[in-house]
Amino acid sequence: MKKTVLMLATAGALVAGMASCKKEKMPKEAITQTIDVSLTANEKYTFTLPKNLRDDAYEITDQAEHYSVSEVGVNTAGERVFNYTPAAGYVGNDQVVVSNDEEKEAHKPHPKGPKFGLPLPGKKNKKQCKGGEEDHYIITINFVVKDTNTLVK
């Protein structure tokens, strides 16, 4: 009888261990990156955003002030990109911050359910169980927009 109880307990522990993910670790600190870009007036700029395990969407957390285009999108290869074009004729400095940071995302309401890639209550998301910790990025892009007539020495 003791052997049967011991075997059932062991089998139960194995099944529970295989069905659940490893204990979740503390979230990693966001990877901050600063990019300095020099453009001429009206020049377009595109930056390919880093990939992450869950393919989290990026958003502009601090919008540029002097732009005609400043948006996050997807290019023809399916990569997430940030596109910027300064306002027509603008010359000077501008800055934008783009992020997929979990902390900022946690404050936004999200639809629930598998259609949106989020697990239903009580369900484990397989992507959360594989591949280790998720990378979160906060990318600051500093623009220096120069006059097209300015000669660079």
> Could you give the domains of the chain?
27-106+126-148 (2.60.40.2020)
Which residues of the chain form beta strands (DSSP E)?
Answer: 31-40, 45-48, 59-62, 67-74, 80-86, 92-99, 137-146
Q: What amino acid is encoded at 52 in this protein?
A: N
| pTM for this predicted structure | 0.63
Closest to 101 measured CA to CA, from 39, 63, 57, 65: 57
Question: Which segments of the chain have a pLDDT < 50?
Answer: 23, 104-131
3-state SS class at 119: coil
Model pLDDT, residue 130 = 47
User: Are 140 and 33 within 8 A, CB to CB?
Assistant: yes
Which residues is 96 bridged to in the sheet? 141
Model pLDDT, residue 9 = 67
CA distance 146 to 40: 5
C-beta atoms surrounding 63 within 10 Å: 13
3-state SS class at 53: coil
